[in-house]
Amino acid sequence: MTRPTTRPHGQVALVGRPNVGKSTLFNRLTGTRGAIVTAVAGTTRDVLGGAVEWQGRVFALVDTGGVVGASLDPMQDAVAERVGRAAATVDLLVFVVDGREGPVPADDEVAETLRRHGVPVVVAVNKTDDRRSRDRASEFHRFGFEPIVEIAAEHGLGIGDLLDEVVSRLPPAPGQAAAITAAHETDVPPTNETRIAVVGRPNVGKSSLVNRLLGEDRVMVSAVPGTTRDAVDEVIRWHHRELRVIDTAGMRRPGKVAQSGHVEAVSVVRARHAMEQADVSVLVIDASAGVTRRDAAIAGEAEAAGCGLVIAANKWDLVRGQGTFAKEFDLDVRETLKFADYAPIVHLSALTGERTARLFDRVDEVAEARRRQVPTGELNRMMETAVRQHAPSAQGKGSVKIKYAVQSGTAPPVFTLFTTRGERLHFSYERFLKNRLRGAFGFKGTPIRLKVRGR
C-alpha cells in the first residue's frame, strides 16, 4: 500500500484480545513494520497510529495492541475502560479474532464490551489461510456483529474486502457528501466496477484475449510461455458499467514454478491474489489442446477464492467445423471440472474476435448472481421442499434436522443452516442443497458456501 499524502478523515481502531494478529494487520494496512507512524490525540501512549489510503479515502488507524484484552481475566475493568476510550474517539471498530482457534471466552468479553458502546463494528476473522479455519469463521456470527470478513493479515489475503467494508462505513469526507447529493440530483447512477481476473496456463492466449477486449495492445503478446509477469489491469466501460480487466501471469505447475526462480513465483502469487480480489475469474483454456488437469487446478483455486467463474474456450477458430467437437469439448470440461459445473462456457477466438462480446454478457450475469440476496421466506420455503424430498444427513452417525436457514453473506453467496446438531452435513447432501439453490434462485457461475450452526 502506498503512503497516504492527504489528511486522514475518519478514525478506525483495531480491537481484540492478544495474539490474534492486530499488529500484523496494522502493519499490513499502514505499510509499516511496527514503527509509530504518528501520535494519535486522546489515546494512551502505547497505542500505535497510522494513516491508510483506500479507494481515494484516507483514514486514521489506531492499533490497541497490548491494551484491549491485555488480561484474560474478564473481571478486570481495564479492558472495558480502554475499549470505551477507543469507542468514544473513533468512527468504526475492527474486531480482530483468530479463525484458527475460533471464539474463546476472551473474545466474548471484548464483544460484550463493544456491544455496550453502539459504535459500528466490522469483524475481521484473521488467520483464515486454510480450509479448516475458513469453515470456523461462521462461528463468530454468534457475537451479533456484521459484516464478518475472512482475512489472513500475514499473507495479505482478504485485505481488500476488509478495506471495502471499512471505507463504506466511514462518514463521508469533506466534499464527498456534496458530490453524493449532486449525483442523486442529476440522476447519475453510481459507479459499479466489476473486477475480472483473466487466468490460465501459460500460452493459452490470455494476453491476446485481454488485448482484444480492451481494443489495444495493452499487454505484451508472445509465443513464449510466461511473457506476462505482473498482474496488469485496465478499466473499460461496457453498457454504462465499468469493468476492470486484470491480465495475470500464466500459472504453471508448482514444480515448474520452483525451477523458474523467485520472479515467476511472485508472479503466480500475484495471480492468485488477483483471483481473491476479483468478482469474476475468466479461465482461459486452449480449445485446440483440450482441457488439462492444470486447468482444473486453476479452476479449483478460483472456487476456493470465492470469485465467480467463466470458462473461455479460446482458439475456437482452430477447431470450428469439426463435427461434434463443441459438444464433446463441453462434456470433457464438465467431467474434468466437476466441482465447477456451475461455470458457463464461452467458445471464442481472441485472434479473430469471434464471440468475445459474449464473454462480457456471461461475466455480467455471473457478477450479478454473486451479489444476489434471497429473501429469508423464499429461502426457507425452498429448504422445506428440499428436505421433504431428501432428508439431510450429517458427516457423523445419527439424524439431523434443518430448523431454518438464512443468507448470511454475498459475493460469494453464503447460507447459514441452523440444525439440531450443529455439525457439518455430508458432502453429498451439501451438493444436493447447492444444486437446489441454483435451480431455485440462479447463482449462475458463482460458488455457494454453506455454514452449519447448532440450534
- Measured CA to CA, the distance from residue 12 to residue 271 in angstroms comes to 30
Which strands form 449-454's sheet, in the order they lie side by side? Answer: 402-409, 414-419, 449-454
> What does DSSP say about strands 193-200 and 241-247: parallel, antiparallel, or unpaired?
parallel
Angle at 316 between CA 310 and CA 319, to 5 degrees: 135
Question: Three-class SS of residue 402?
Answer: strand
Place of cell 483455486: 301
Half-sphere exposure of 361 (CA within 13 A, CB side): 8
H/E stretch holding 361 reads: helix 356-370
Cell 463521508 belongs to which residue?
172
Any idea what DSSP says for residue 188?
P
User: Taking a C-beta distance cutoff of 8 angstroms, is the pair 342, 446 a contact?
Assistant: yes
Strands (E), 67-120: 92-98
Q: From CA 201, how far away is CA 133, in angstroms rounded?
A: 29
Determine contact, residues 408/415, Cβ cutoff 8 Å: yes
User: Which residues, including other chains, have CB under 8 Å from residue 24's CB and lie 6 or more apart?
Assistant: 126, 153, 154
Residue 359 parent element (H or E): helix 356-370
In whole angstroms, how far apart are CA 351 and each of 212, 334, 347, 356?
8, 25, 13, 10
pLDDT at 238: 81
Query: End-to-end alpha-carbon separation of the chain, Å?
Result: 42
CATH number among 2.60.40.10, 3.30.300.30, 1.20.140.10, 3.40.50.300, domain 11-169? 3.40.50.300
Helices 22-30 and 159-169: crossing angle in degrees, nearest 10, is 80
Distance (Å, whole) CA 85 – CA 90: 9
Q: 34-47 burial string, b = 16+ CB within 10 Å, else e? A: eeebeebeebeeeb
Among 3.40.190.10, 3.40.50.2300, 3.65.10.10, 3.30.300.20, name the CATH number for the domain at 376-454: 3.30.300.20
Q: What local confidence, expressed as pLDDT, does residue 177 receive?
A: 44
- Per-residue pLDDT at 368: 95
Dist CA 188 CA 183 (whole Å): 5
Quote the CA–CA distance of 4 and 12 in Å, as a whole number: 15
207: left (phi over 0), alpha (psi -120 to 50) or beta: alpha
- In this structure, are strands 402-409 and 414-419 parallel, antiparallel, or unpaired? antiparallel
Superfamily covering domain 193-370: P-loop containing nucleotide triphosphate hydrolases (3.40.50.300)
Q: What does each of the 455 residues of the chain score in pLDDT, given as a tens digit?
A: 544 445 567 889 999 888 898 888 988 898 754 433 333 433 333 456 788 888 778 888 887 754 444 444 443 455 456 556 666 778 899 999 999 999 998 888 888 888 777 788 999 999 988 777 777 788 888 888 888 899 998 888 888 889 988 988 887 665 544 443 443 343 333 446 899 999 999 889 998 898 888 875 444 444 444 444 445 578 888 877 888 898 887 675 544 434 444 433 455 677 788 898 899 999 999 999 999 988 998 998 899 889 999 999 999 999 987 779 999 999 999 999 998 999 999 999 999 999 999 999 999 999 999 999 999 999 999 999 999 999 998 766 667 899 999 998 999 999 999 998 877 788 889 999 999 999 999 999 999 999 888 76
With beta carbons less than 8 A apart as the criterion, state whether 159 and 235 touch: no
Within this chain, domains 11-169 and 376-454 share the same CATH topology? no
Res 327: pLDDT: 94
Residue 183: Cβ within 10 Å count = 13
Please give the Cα distance from 299 to 265 (Å, whole number).
19
Q: Torsion angle of alpha carbons 219, 271, 358, 365, nearest 10°?
A: -140
pTM: 0.57
- Residue ranges of domains in the chain: 11-169, 193-370, 376-454
CA distance 56 to 275: 22
Task: Please report the pLDDT score of residue 36 as a whole number.
Answer: 34
Q: Which long-range contacts (CB under 8 A, 24 or more apart) does 429-436 make?
A: 429/390, 429/392, 429/393, 432/386, 432/390, 433/383, 433/386, 436/382, 436/386
